[in-house]
Structure 1
Amino acid sequence: MLPLLAVLQGIMRNVKRHKTKTETQENDKNKEEKKKAERPSVRRKVKRQKHEPHIHWDRLCLLVFTVVNVPLLAWNWKHLKQKYLEYMEPEYEFKTFSFDHLSALAQREMNMKKYAYNYSTTHIDKRANLSRQEFTDVYDGAWPVIITDVVPKWGAYHWSKQFLLKYYGKDRITMKAVDGRLDNAESLALPLELYFKHAHEGTFRRWTYVEDELFIPTRPQLRRDVGDCEYLKEDYFQLFPEEVRPWNAMLLWGTPHSRSSLHIDPYNWTGTNAVIKGRKQWKLIPPGQDHLLYVKEGKMSGFPLECYKYNR
């Protein structure tokens, strides 16, 4: 009896399962027919909405930006690529610089007529009470000049060996020691008091030269002693980012016979020398001899904004 009862129960479960499946299929079929009946009205509704104006401003702005800027970006890239290729070409690395000195001298002679001073056309003028405008018109970038009434007004004019030893004798200072050729120099960082002990020494073949661009700017008292100069107000280095801007008060101090080779300073800057103590001699070469100058290929300045080092 038990096996027969189990078989009957199994048959009843299968019948019930089949009935449920059939009902589910019929319900799904009814739902599908109902959807088909409703679908035309949905289509008509969508069709009506299709004609309603709707502007996607976010997409429009993106489209305008793309249309306007893609040509500009393409032009900029083409322009930068051309400049890069020109820079990388060997013939562009060392271009010969030619200065039209005749035009510069002619302009200087015209500007000289504005003022009553008796200018020299063969020697170096020594001037005092020179206006900035006259300096710009007659001397700046055109002719050397010695200005005699600036440095005596500075606190640095009264610096002495005793003063520097007392307050900065233990501080290290950078210098170069030359033995033989100028290009055979050793860079050193030694206490200032040690340099003082040998500052009087120096021969034509062996000498030492302090060349420190941080010693004065990083010591506020010394920097204040280097006063302002009316003729240096135009300083394009102030346009540089502070991180790469060159320091503007380098300390130069040489033993007897110290010297430098003919060179152009980094970034082609114009250096103004203020002689506080001692003497400094200059070798002046008349203009019009640019074709006799040359540079050594591959020499770099080592500055944050890399540039070539133009030494003879």
Structure 2
Amino acid sequence: MGTDQASGEFVREALGVAERITADGSSPWPVEPGRYRLVAARACPWANRIVIVRRLLGLEDAISMGIAGPLHDERSWRFHLDPGNVDPVLGVEWLREAYEKAVPGYDKGVTVPAMVEVASGKVATNAYAELEYDLATQWTAYHREGAPDLWPAEHLDEIGAVSEGIFHDVNNGVYKCGFAGTQAAYDKAFHALFSRLDELSDRLATRRYLVGDTITEADIRLWVTLARFDAAYHGHFKCNRHKLTEMPVLWAYARDLFQTPGFGDTIDVEQIKQHYYGVHTSVNPSGIVPLGPDTSVWLTPHGREELGGRPFGDGTPPPPPPEGERVPAIG
């Protein structure tokens, strides 16, 4: 992450290992069950997207998952929640070690999600958007029975257009607010964020999901930011025109998805707060982590069923998460 010195605007660093994992031989990394370990973090929205897709598609047996803890420093994400502070499969304490095995002298951002080849310990890719798509299109031989179609062919263009706006103004927009180096940069990002949220609220007022009548990638992309909004972005990143709970349509939509298998069961609000308030010392020098907000409200009725829609289309809900991947219950 960085800030442009001239404009004060936040600039997201380029990905350092932007490869693909494909089934057709078009990349150096082939689809192969058991070959890779997904390294994620409960705190990170970019990783959360991949965790949700993996859950919905039923790829737990094909791709194992390691969870980096919420706290880290300039050395990178760290497995401080595991016994001995070491990932039990990769045998490393810091995710940077896997990046440096892939690229000696690695000097770019150490990010999650990252897919690591277990045998070599090398990061195969940290290209989160491509990874998300490839899990849905390249790993089909290992999808569970009843896996939903998150990129329905008839809606690809619309999903792409909606998702692009969400990325720039919402997913990345909250960071543009939080890490702005000037008032002008903050003002610009703030207005873009809430203008986009207003637009999305209008869109969702009469439809249950963003595109078509089922959950698609666009919903996953928006939801991971909404899920963190009141706990982190509203206060920590100064995205404070309204709380999510004060935006009726988006709040009901977010609760609807939270209560859908594969979404709320991937979230750990305490780790989210520990990360944002504990790591971003330039924004929160004291490192004090807030005790609120009340999370039990995520379980209240949302009424979105009245809009129709079929969450998983012709598919079925995923089963509960594996025992070792379960998160603390809300409420």
Question: TM-score normalised by the shorter chain: which range applies?
Answer: under 0.3
* TM-score w.r.t. length of structure 2: 0.22
* TM-score w.r.t. length of structure 1: 0.23
Q: Which fold has the larger relative contact order, with Cα–Cα distance below 8 Å and residues 6 or more apart in sequence?
A: 2
Instruction: Specify the structure having the higher radius of gyration (Cα).
Output: 1
| Structure with greater helix share of residues | 1
